[in-house]
Amino acid sequence: MSILPGPGLKAKLAARDRCLTTAVCTIPSAVVTQALAASGLDCVMVDLEHGAVDYASAHAMIAATQGSGCAPLVRVAENDTAQVKRALDLGAEGIVFPLIRSASDAARAVASLRYPPRGDRGFGPFIAQSRWGSNMARYRDDIEDSLVCCLLIETAEAVACIEEICATEGIDFLVLAGFDLSTSLGVSGQFEAPAFLDAVARIEAAARDADLPLGGVALDETQARALRARGYRMIGGFDALWLRQSASALKLWAET
């Protein structure tokens, strides 16, 4: 049993005809996260990798999604069981894993979301039980199969074995991280470079063949529509970039 309204993110991802939306939350603010959740986004990704968010802020941001249909995911700094455990124990509905390079990395990520014997998560959902409307006795059975595993594909090594990564049981969706991937390929920010386009095509084909939802970043409407046309199922942006873009637009409106 859960107090979460409507279907969770895992159920939404299972509806193959749906295109979902997300925002990476780099601003350590429950107010910003609450506004994003209220906008109708399907999930937010609280950023513990690159943002200014600490664990206390992350807990407040997760709690700020309560009462909405927006799932709070946490992007950890690395594929580390201790970091995953702590994020889940704050009430996260899933984890976004950076720098996945191999199928063994993917399998380790999946295992960190589950308790023994299915995985290696330590037990201590003292905070998470309240977020989910469960209790200590029921938490494991109530929650474990609702948790979402997202992998960031952002390295040349991941591209080289993307088919094996996609075959790993327990992955819910992938996100193609273009800035990191282009940098890893030696063509940082050059999104029309042949090496980058070839890598993107291979990732898209592998995700499609494995029937895995694929996500990408859109900085404007044209990019969002292009991703949707290519079959991407999760389209996202960044809170800090949206804030700057909106403020820049206001300045332009006022000065012209």
The stretch 91-117 carries a mean pLDDT of 97
Query: Which tens digit of pLDDT belongs to each residue from 185-243?
Result: 999 999 999 999 999 999 999 999 999 999 999 989 999 999 999 999 999 999 999 99
The pLDDT confidence band at residue 16, using thresholds 50, 70 and 90, is confident
Of 7-21, 104-118, 164-178, the range with the lowest mean pLDDT is 7-21
Please check the confidence at residue 4 and state whether its pLDDT lies above 60: no
Report d(CA 232, CA 204) in Å as an integer. Answer: 9
Report d(CA 24, CA 51) in Å as an integer. Answer: 9
59 flagged as catalytic:
no
User: What is the pLDDT at residue 6?
Assistant: 62
Query: How many helices and strands in the chain, by DSSP H and E?
Result: 13, 8
Please check the confidence at residue 2 and state whether its pLDDT lies above 70: no
Domains of the chain (ranges; CATH) run 9-250 (3.20.20.60)
Phi and psi torsions of 236, nearest 5°: -140, 170
User: What is the pLDDT at residue 160?
Assistant: 98
User: What is the pLDDT at residue 195?
Assistant: 97
Q: Which whole-number Å values give the CA distances from 221 to 217, 224, 225, 237, in the listed order?
A: 11, 5, 6, 11
Q: Which of 15, 18, 50, 243 is catalytic?
A: 50
E strand map for the chain:
20-25, 43-47, 71-75, 94-97, 148-153, 173-176, 214-217, 234-238
The stretch 78-106 carries a mean pLDDT of 97
The stretch 140-158 carries a mean pLDDT of 96
| Token couple for 155 | 């390295």
Q: To the nearest whole percent, how much of the chain has pLDDT over 70?
A: 98
For the whole model, what pTM was predicted?
Answer: 0.95
The mean of the pLDDT values for the chain is: 95
User: What is the pLDDT at residue 1?
Assistant: 43
